[in-house]
A and B are shown apart, each in its own frame.
Chain A
Amino acid sequence: MTQFWRLALLIPALVVLAIAAGHVILTLPAFGDPLSQYGATVDALAPILRNVSNMVSAVNFDIRSIDTLGEESMLICAVTATVVLLRGRRGEEIVERAGHLPGREWLERSDATVLVCRLIATALFLFGLSVILHGTVTPGGGFQGGAIAASGFILIYLGEGYSTWRRMLHSEVLVAVEGFGGLAFALAAAIPLAFGYAAMQNVLPLGTWKDLYSGGLMAIVNLVIGAAVIGSFGMLLLEFMEETRAPKAGDIEDEAAT
């Protein structure tokens, strides 16, 4: 279809949808005045029942934890998929040199860059770790802290250069961290089953209010998710950066599956 016909079909469809959306908008419960009692009940009950002060973490890691297991699986699945697609038949061995486009100037890395990247990468890791550990107490948790810590990997690449970075990051380690993190979450769900409780029931001692260890099983789940997210994003960054390395002699440009 040409652009004209595409827009000729799309614009009327969007107009009809806009009218329907307007109808829905006018009858939604008023903004800022929700009907639902679900959230308010969680806010009221979770601090008492689970000794945690972060309600969002309570929902994510305890009340609706099977959802989070599904989301974690989605993350691992998407990262595995990206790894498979980018790796192709490139293989996983470590090649020492970054790729170099002919005609581009090769600039030396300045000392300021290296220093700042080292400082900030370390700070990022520590901050990410802190956000993960305090997930049940203050805003944060496994997902957020894991993403922060994983962004430290990029700064290492910037500061140290491709060869050092590649020697530091091993895909076996990252994949193992990712996989064992997910497995620990699934086990945290299955082990209470073996003892006759419901799946993922919070059977551990609940800890102290506003303390690092609070929420029982929630704190453990939080940690393993943080680890899994760090492993996942690390793998992602690794495979994308691998696209920049110098092509090896044996690299096949893959076509159809053979």
Chain B
Amino acid sequence: MNVLAWCVVAWLFGVGIYGIVTSRHYVHMIGCLTVCQSATYVLLLGIGYRWGAGPPIFYDHPPGTPAVDPVMQALVLTDIVVSAAMTALLLAIALQVHKRRGTLDPQHLRPLRPSE
């Protein structure tokens, strides 16, 4: 149980990288990139976790009840919103590439080689 969270992190990252490397479609690659990103989120949240502690919100519980690390949660929270926007940026690039090339296969899309 102690190492499960960290093994999940390593697995997610490895699977995401494998997906990117063997990808045949830009949108699939963007999805794999998101998987890699989720690995870092699990790592950060796992680092902040504390057994038997609740969320760091003291509305219903008085301040002083054991709570997990709010710093890690704050870091991950803002990052999630930004990653949504970055995925949108990547998808916009993919959309425009598709309009010009008709394909989204990374094997055939190489900059500065007009013959391809």
Contacts and interface: CB of A to CB of B under 8 A. Distances in A.
Q: Please tell me whether chains A and B touch each other in their complex, using a CB distance cut-off of 8 A.
A: yes
Interface of A: 3, 6-7, 10, 14, 17-18, 21, 24-26, 28, 30-34, 36, 38-40, 42-44, 47-48, 53-56, 58-60, 64, 67-68, 71, 74-75, 78-79, 81-82, 85-86, 88, 137-139, 141, 143-144, 147, 210, 229, 232, 236, 239-240, 243, 253, 255
Q: On chain B, which size bracket covers the interface? A: 35 or more
Contacts of B47: 28, 34, 36
Contact of A39 (B21, B51, B56, B64): B56
Contacts of A31: 1-6, 46, 49
Contacts of B55: 139
Given A39-B56, A53-B57, A85 B96 contact: yes
A69 B30 CA distance: 26
A172 B52 CA distance: 49
Nearest to B20: A10
Given A14-B17, A53-B58, A60 B78 contact: yes
13 contacts: A3-B22, A14-B14, A39-B48, A39-B70, A42-B71, A56-B57, A60-B74, A64-B71, A71-B81, A78-B86, A138-B57, A143-B77, A143-B78
Nearest to B63: A47
A38 B71 contact: yes
Contact of A85 (B7, B48, B89): B89
Given A32-B2, A60-B78, A81-B92, 4 more contacts: A39-B71, A43-B67, A54-B56, A59-B73
B95 A38 contact: no
Contacts, number: 154
Given A6-B21, A55-B56, A67 B78 contact: yes
Of B67, B69, B75, most buried by chain A (CB within 10 Å of CB) is: B69
B85 interface: yes
Contacts of B69: 34, 36, 38-40
Contacts of B95: 86, 243
B77 A39 contact: no
Given A28-B6, A53-B59, A137-B59, A75 B89 contact: no
Nearest to B52: A32
B68 interface: yes
A48 B21 CA distance: 51
B72 interface: yes
A7 B70 contact: no
A7 B84 CA distance: 30
B33 interface: no
Contacts of B108: none
B82 A75 contact: yes
B59 A138 contact: yes
A85 B86 CA distance: 13
B10 A25 contact: yes
Nearest to A43: B67
Contact of A64 (B7, B58, B74, B96): B74
A26 B18 CA distance: 24
A82 B85 contact: yes
Contact of A59 (B2, B17, B46, B70): B70
Given A28-B6, A31-B2, A71 B100 contact: no
A85 B93 contact: yes
Q: Please provide the 5 A-B residue pairs with the shortest distance between their CB atoms, ordered closest to farther.
A: A39-B69, A78-B85, A55-B56, A55-B70, A32-B51
